[in-house]
Structure 1
Amino acid sequence: MTRWSPQPAPDEPDGLILFDGVCVFCSRWVRFVIDHDPEQRFRFLPIQSEAGRALATRYGIDPEAPQTNAVVWGGLIHFKSDAALTVLGALPKTRALAALKAAPRLLRDPAYDLIAKNRYAIFGRTDACMVPSAEDRARFLA
């Protein structure tokens, strides 16, 4: 088991996605999930919020320099490529992509890390967290 292996998270709400709210790529990821989640199973928590910082710290993510997003699903918290593929596997139109979890994390996570390390340089960074639309606001916990 590695630092970023799924961990038990029985007290966390299922479907919670922790994300970097000032990262343009991460905000687009949240928008993608919202647009492809007709059952509205996912909720969102920016790491820059008080609750987001607390959740990140509880599971070993540095809130000042997050190396991963995370999702709580099925009583576990998933990180890095596991998190992304878990979410994609739960969305109706991208469900087949969950099959990529069959590839070892040792092969998947370096690609994730490359994007995560360079996300601000490639996609940009904002000064403030994304502001959800009025209709999506209830899905954001902070």
Structure 2
Amino acid sequence: METTKKIILFDGVCNLCNSSVQFVIKRDKKDVFRYAALQSEVGQSLLAERNIDTSEVDSIILIDPGVAYYTKSDAALEICGEIGGAWLALTVFKWIPASIRNIVYDFVAKNRYRWYGKKDQCMIPTPELKAKFL
């Protein structure tokens, strides 16, 4: 597994999460990220290595190998910072304490299946995108 790429772990059956991953892929001009569904074998292994319990952390997770991992709004803002461009402006929200930012994050996460729907199985990447998925 590549250790130089940041890894985005996402809920593979969530329509909002899948759309978010597609959004990031289109804007990842520097090829910074790799992706894995939380439900996948790789995702489960990465979670276990970091002792992350997904029953307590209902979140997108950004792993910066050898540095740290980020969850919830911290992960989203770190991803925006890497995408750059106008999305870099969103990192101004880092000035707001994570406990306050995560109230909004948790509200959306709690309702994401009801609002955006859910797939029966994880997304299968197209042949062109397969190299970006672990």
Fold equivalence (TM over 0.5): yes
Matched with 2:10 is 19
- Identify if the C-alpha distance between structure 1 residues 108 and 63 changes in structure 2 by more than 3 Å, giving closer, same or farther: closer
Structure 1 counterpart of 2:64, from 73, 80, 86: 73
For structure 2, the 5+ residue unaligned runs are none
1:1-142 → structure 2 map (5 Å cutoff)? 14-63=5-54, 67-73=58-64, 75-93=67-85, 94-141=87-134
Deviation at 1:13, TM superposition (A): 5.2
For structure 1, the 5+ residue unaligned runs are 1-11
Superposed CA deviations along residues 79-107 of structure 1, whole A, max 9, x for unmatched, are 00000000011112211111111111111
Q: Partners of 1:64 and 1:109 in 2: how far apart?
A: 16
Q: How many residues align?
A: 131
Q: Partners of 2:56 and 2:126 in 1: how far apart?
A: 27
Classify the secondary structure of the residue corresponding to 1:45: strand
Contact in 2 for aligned 1:61/1:67 (Cα 8 Å) = no
- Identify if the C-alpha distance between structure 1 residues 50 and 65 changes in structure 2 by more than 3 Å, giving closer, same or farther: farther
Classify the secondary structure of the residue corresponding to 2:70: strand
- Root mean square deviation of aligned Cα: 2.0
- Identify if the C-alpha distance between structure 1 residues 61 and 123 changes in structure 2 by more than 3 Å, giving closer, same or farther: farther
Q: Partners of 1:44 and 1:104 in 2: how far apart?
A: 27
Q: Partners of 1:114 and 1:104 in 2: how far apart?
A: 16
AA partner of residue 17 (structure 2): C
Q: Partners of 1:105 and 1:21 in 2: how far apart?
A: 25
Q: Partners of 1:91 and 1:137 in 2: how far apart?
A: 20
Contact in 2 for aligned 1:23/1:125 (Cα 8 Å) = yes
AA partner of residue 117 (structure 1): K
